[in-house]
Amino acid sequence: MTAVDIKALEKRFGKTAALEPVTFSVAEGELFGLIGPDGAGKTTLFRMLATLVLPTGGTATVDGLDVVRDYRELRNRLGYMPGRFALYQDLTVAENLKFFASIFGATIESNYEMIRDIYGQLEPFRDRRAGALSGGMKQKLALSCALIHRPRVLLLDEPTTGVDAVSRLEFWDVLTRLRDSGLTILVSTPYMDEAARCDRVALIQDGHILEINTPTGIEDSYPLPLLSVKSSDRLTAKRALERFPFAYSVYPFGEELHFTDSRAEPSVSEIKTWLHEAGVADAEVTVIRAGIEDVFMHRMPTVEGQTGVA
């Protein structure tokens, strides 16, 4: 059963396209991630699905309802968490929750099951003003407010931005449990590592969808061999690899370098020799599996003069 069905949905402002025509669907009970940097078009897409912005082309249905025609009914069934966790800073945790429950004609008691997981951690702070909460707590409160009316589809726009690493992990645990209980969830995020926790993922950049697949599928789609190069002198290694005749791309990845060879069957020893001759004696070169970020960078449309060999 499809929860979200999008066909050639697009948004233009005058001549500029915030979102080029996009087509994909999300199944019921799926945890779907929209991965891309700032300005990629994630928020534009979410706002159209949330019935907040009119598309300039294409159609979309959420839970079987058209986002343009049936927006009023659809708003009863959606849970929406916009970026910047829109909460009433001068109301307490409990007051915020009560308010959002009431405007949907729900009560906290009737739907407590849904938010029990998350709200449990907020309970001790129920009388604290939302403005005085930490980023991680605000995030949990905003999620609770979006869930309190038992929506059928949840739209979360960059819920982990500006939140510390630990809270991010906990948040994704919560999302996974919600998905397991049958809720359809669409999440957008700029963090590539979060893609791994989704059922399926759409990579988006500059208003274009680069690819849609399961995380594994995306990783599999990397077209060339990828090697990890570790050494004590990363800078020299990087420069050496950039000069390598078969180099396709060289990117730093934490303590490693990700080197993509333009041949189908690269030789590890050849590369090691090359590095050795450049003065890098202790290089560890291993063939690795591509990650989401590798694929993203590979697929990104690059601007003239700013090539992949950075």
Partner 1 sequence: MTSAPAIICQGLTRKFGSFTAVDSISFEVAQGEVFGFLGANGAGKTTAIRMLTGLLQPTGGQAWVAGHDVYSEVEAVKRSIGYMSQRFSLYDDLTVRENIEFYGGIYGLRKTELHQKSGDLIERLDMEAEANSMIRSLPLGWRQKIAFSVAVLHEPAIVFLDEPTGGVDPITRRQFWDLIYEKAAQGVTVFVTTHYMDEAEYCDRVSIMVDGRIEALGSPAELKKGHGVDSINDLFVLLARGGKRGDA
Partner 2 sequence: MKAFRGFVIKEFFHIFRDRRTLVILFGMPIIQMMLFGYAIRNEVQDVQVAVVDWAHDSASEAITDRLEASRYLQVVPGIEHQDIERAFRRGEAKVAVTFPRNFERDLILGESPTVQVITDATDPNTANTVLAYVTAAIGTYQIEVLTTSGGARPASIVLEPRMRFNPELRSVVLFVPGLIALILMLVCALMTSITITREKEIGTMEILLVSPLRPGQIIVGKVMPYLVLSLVNVVTILLLASQVFLVPIRGSLTLLLAECFLFIICALALGIFISTRTSTQQVAMMISLAGLLLPTVILSGFIFPVASMPAPLQIVSHIVPAKWFLIVIRGIMIKGVGLEAIWQETLVLVGMTTVFLVASVRGFNVRLAD
Contact residues toward partner 2 (CB under 8 A) are 13, 47, 50-54, 71-72, 75-76, 78, 80, 82-84, 86-89, 100, 103-105, 145-146
Q: Which residues contact 108 (CB under 8 A, 6 or more apart)?
A: 97, 98, 101, 148
Shortest separation between residue 219's beta carbon and partner 1, angstroms = 15
Decide whether 62 or 137 has the Cβ nearer to partner 2: 62
Shortest separation between residue 126's beta carbon and partner 2, angstroms = 19
E strands, the chain, are 2-13, 16-27, 31-35, 57-62, 65-66, 78-81, 153-157, 184-189, 200-205, 208-213, 226-230, 247-253, 256-261, 284-288
165 binds, among partner 2, partner 1, none (CB under 5 to 8 A by kind): partner 1
Residue 53: both structure tokens together = 């912005």
Q: Could you give the CA distance from residue 29 to residue 227 in angstroms, rounded to a whole number?
A: 36
Shortest separation between residue 18's beta carbon and partner 2, angstroms = 10
User: Which residue stretch of 58-66, 105-113, 132-140, 273-281 sits at the interface with partner 1 (rule: CB under 8 A)?
Assistant: 132-140
User: Which residue stretch of 129-137, 143-151, 171-179, 262-270 sits at the interface with partner 1 (rule: CB under 8 A)?
Assistant: 129-137
Phi, psi dihedral angles at 263 (to 5 degrees): -95, 160
Q: Determine if 205 is a binding residue for partner 1 (CB under 8 A).
A: yes
The CA angle 237-242-244, to the nearest 5 degrees, is 95
Strand partners, 281: none
Shortest separation between residue 297's beta carbon and partner 1, angstroms = 5
Asked if 163 contacts 135 with a C-beta cutoff of 8 angstroms, the reply is yes
Q: Determine if 308 is a binding residue for partner 1 (CB under 8 A).
A: yes
Among 46, 85, 125, 172, which residue sits at the site for partner 1 (rule: CB under 8 A)?
A: 125
Site size with partner 1, rule: CB under 8 A: 39
Q: Could you give the CA distance from residue 304 to residue 52 in angstroms, rounded to a whole number?
A: 35
Decide whether 154 or 210 has the Cβ nearer to partner 2: 154
Distances (CA, A) of 289 to 34, 216, 217, 295: 22, 10, 12, 11
Q: What is the CA radius of gyration of the chain?
A: 23
Q: Determine if 131 is a binding residue for partner 1 (CB under 8 A).
A: no
User: Which residue stretch of 31-39, 58-66, 98-106, 211-219 sits at the interface with partner 1 (rule: CB under 8 A)?
Assistant: 31-39
Decide whether 141 or 280 has the Cβ nearer to partner 2: 141
Chain residues binding partner 1 by CB under 8 A are 36-40, 124-125, 128, 133-137, 161-167, 169, 190, 192, 205, 235, 251-255, 293, 296-297, 300, 302, 305-306, 308, 310
